[in-house]
Amino acid sequence: MMTVVTRRRLLGVSALAPMLTCTRLVQTQGEAAPTPSIEAPVVDSLSIQVVTDGNHDVFISGAQVPGIRVERVRGFRGAQERRALRSEHGLSLYLTSHRGDETRSFLLDFGYTPETLNNNLELLGLEVAGLDALILSHGHLDHFGGLEGFLARHRAAMKGDLRLYVGGEDVFCYRHSPAGNGAFASYGVLDRRMLEAGQVRLVSSEEPLVVEGHAFSTGAIRRTSLERVLPNSFVEFGRRDSAGCDVANYANHHFTPAELAGQPVPDQHLHETGTCFHVRDRGLVVITSCGHSGVINTVRRAKQVSGVDKVYALVGGFHLARAPDDYLSRVVTELKTLDIEHVLPMHCSGLNFLEAAKREMPQALVLCTTGSRFTFGA
């Protein structure tokens, strides 16, 4: 079963009505439309456990950060079996939020392989059966690659009405990596049939919406800052072999004849989303996952749709590893003006960003590694 929330059907989904308050519509390209808004729920605390990231540093400092409880994983959790946490080019985060007596848990993104994801979930002792929902930030293989194997291992033990939240049809497109001389290599496709077989209910929304009463999604992210989508994959619009993305499900987006003909074009990640929490007495925690749409754009969007101006922490991949020096400098300069207390770069943020952040915002920078856990709030 799939629930789709688009500009055309925003208020027509009864299953989401208790979770979604939206009074305005998203701006369409070339039009001046007001920003959609939601009533962002307030949680007392949020913990983010890094299940999969690009490295596991057993020697990383255990020093505490004012306002954040930092827990690091030392040694090898499965030493007797000669097992250790694995790292790879991918990202997966286990999120736990509390509000009064309520607890919600989410798995945000699934890394590149199920072997790494399932291994790390087990070694970290993370409870999977009680997950309230799954969230996918965008349609890149290093973020959904572990999903099928995760469901194969754990679905039978999980809640019956399990939802996967995505930002729109774009997550289902075929994607390709440049292979040189104009050729492309496959970069995978998220297959709806796999979700249906796993009895996962898809909630697809271009609009911001509240997720399970504790979190909220930014919806599709407007491109309003100096940022641009840096080179990454190529995307193929259209369906074939019973998979792919349907251009009819893109609300008001305009496609060129070449795109409609299935020609791979540079990926703009039209439906990438940020996942956010409003932590009591702290402000917003904004999780960018990969940040192709721009970390500044994502933060602005989170603030606009929630009406909360204070951003306490920016977490996730910032997609700046390939950024030219002058572009990186301008992004960091703009990021400093947002007065974010804590910046936690992961995944594709890049050593270049880490070095720049150490110079320009050392008081805000928090280093991350596979297995680390960060708790915001009481």
**CA end-to-end span of the chain, whole Å?**
37
- Dihedral sign, Cα of residue 193, residue 197, residue 198, residue 204: positive
Rounded distance, CA 366 to CA 194, Å? Answer: 37
325 within 8 A of 251, measured Cβ to Cβ:
no
Rounded distance, CA 304 to CA 338, Å? Answer: 13
Judge residue 239's burial from the number of C-beta atoms within 10 Å of its C-beta, 0-12 exposed, 13-18 middle, 19 or more buried.
Answer: middle
Tokens of 139: 């349609």
Ordered by where they begin, the domains of the chain are: 2-8+37-167+192-227+272-377 (3.60.15.10)
* Positions of the chain with pLDDT lower than 70, given as ranges: 1-34, 75-80
**Residue 83: its pLDDT value, please?**
86
Task: Look up tokens 């055309």; give the residue.
Answer: 8
Q: Which residues contact 363 (CB under 8 A, 6 or more apart)?
A: none
Tokens of 60: 């990383």
**Residue 182: its pLDDT value, please?**
81
Quick: pLDDT tens for 41-78.
999 999 999 999 999 999 999 999 999 999 999 866 55
**Residue 35: its pLDDT value, please?**
75
List helix spans (H) across 261-294.
none
Q: What is the CA radius of gyration of the chain?
A: 20
**Residue 28: its pLDDT value, please?**
35
Residue 243's nearest CA partner among 292, 180, 293, 189 is 189
Quick: pLDDT tens for 285-306.
999 999 999 999 999 999 999 9
Rounded distance, CA 196 to CA 312, Å? Answer: 37
**DSSP secondary structure of 64-133:** -BTTEEEE---S-TBGGGTB-----S--EEEEEEEETTEEEEEEE---S-HHHHHHHHHHTT---TT--E
Judge residue 53's burial from the number of C-beta atoms within 10 Å of its C-beta, 0-12 exposed, 13-18 middle, 19 or more buried.
Answer: buried
Residue 301 one-letter amino acid = R
Which secondary structure element, helix H or strand E, spans residue 164, and what is its range?
strand 162-166
**Residue 4: its pLDDT value, please?**
61
Quick: pLDDT tens for 161-194.
999 999 999 999 999 999 888 889 999 999 999 9
Judged by phi (left if over 0) then psi (alpha if -120 to 50, else beta), residue 118 lies in: alpha
